[in-house]
A and B are shown apart, each in its own frame.
Chain A
């Protein structure tokens, strides 16, 4: 029965095309969803920016760690208190969080970063080093509440 065979062949061929159609229907649905959610993400980004402008202290930590300026006779620093949100860098370059504009201080001088529950202070191979509680710092150390950090003419206290 050639007629029946012909119909069967046509079904087989039609399945080839419906497969391709299905592939692209699936991708079309996914792309449509992804695009919609990209649009909502963009809106979320805008509101995010507003929240950020209100101030970083909105962070939900019970007691954010901070650096208190206790000695700044040459008036090198614009602020008297720095919050350490996740990390903080100190140096002469403008991209640091704490900029100390003094030739004694290296461009990237020191860095404090949070490692789980500890705050680590690291000397970034500065020329003149860091003094912690009267001792020259070698490499890194974990900071505890009340540590006194001296960098050049500036003295800071770590509090948490």
Chain B
């Protein structure tokens, strides 16, 4: 069992859980993920390790509640525990050693970005973070990211920071001067747009993918993605890949087979719980991106 040590809400449907997992906290590297199972009978959910404190023996998980399983998970309170946490899984990020990096985060993808920004900053890389949300309340981790470098915050409705999409801000940063690498994590359309933007100037671009998976060790083959015409497994070969080689159409498609099932499960959960979760329910209709 993995007790929950801390919990806070970052946006209407994004929750931060600090969870006891000493072994993983000690050895995890930026870019790696865990698979959690909230309780007996629950689904196995892959989640990026957003942060870790080896001394305290805790890891931080940032969860977008978009379905029954994620809602069950964020319904856990400090003092309760997550039944299973396994990891760290996946390859660690190949972090730039020096130079200039731009990290683009959309929605809960910003959480995946945080350890990258931390690692890059530790390497002495100059990092610009570009993060976005629909409106001010959907912007997450701005303060945390600002500790490691410049942050450009965008909102679709202009209610905060720079009006417009993160890709528009990226376009401006690209024209400002040379960039060694771009990391992009967020909804599939956002990652695809970033890839298209950096392709003409051949700026190395890395995306972190989170397709549907079960075991996280290469056993199920459910997380197969097409990269450079080759079928690879996000769980063991990734989760990070060269954005210019990823088949985003296939990725998007393979995220969707259980949509009807998920919708039904969510409705059933809400019927059982009653009206108090109406707020989360409204938020759950937000576009699903890096977290399924």
- Do A and B actually bind? no
Give the A-binding residues of B (Cβ under 8 A). Answer: none
Give the B-binding residues of A (Cβ under 8 A). Answer: none
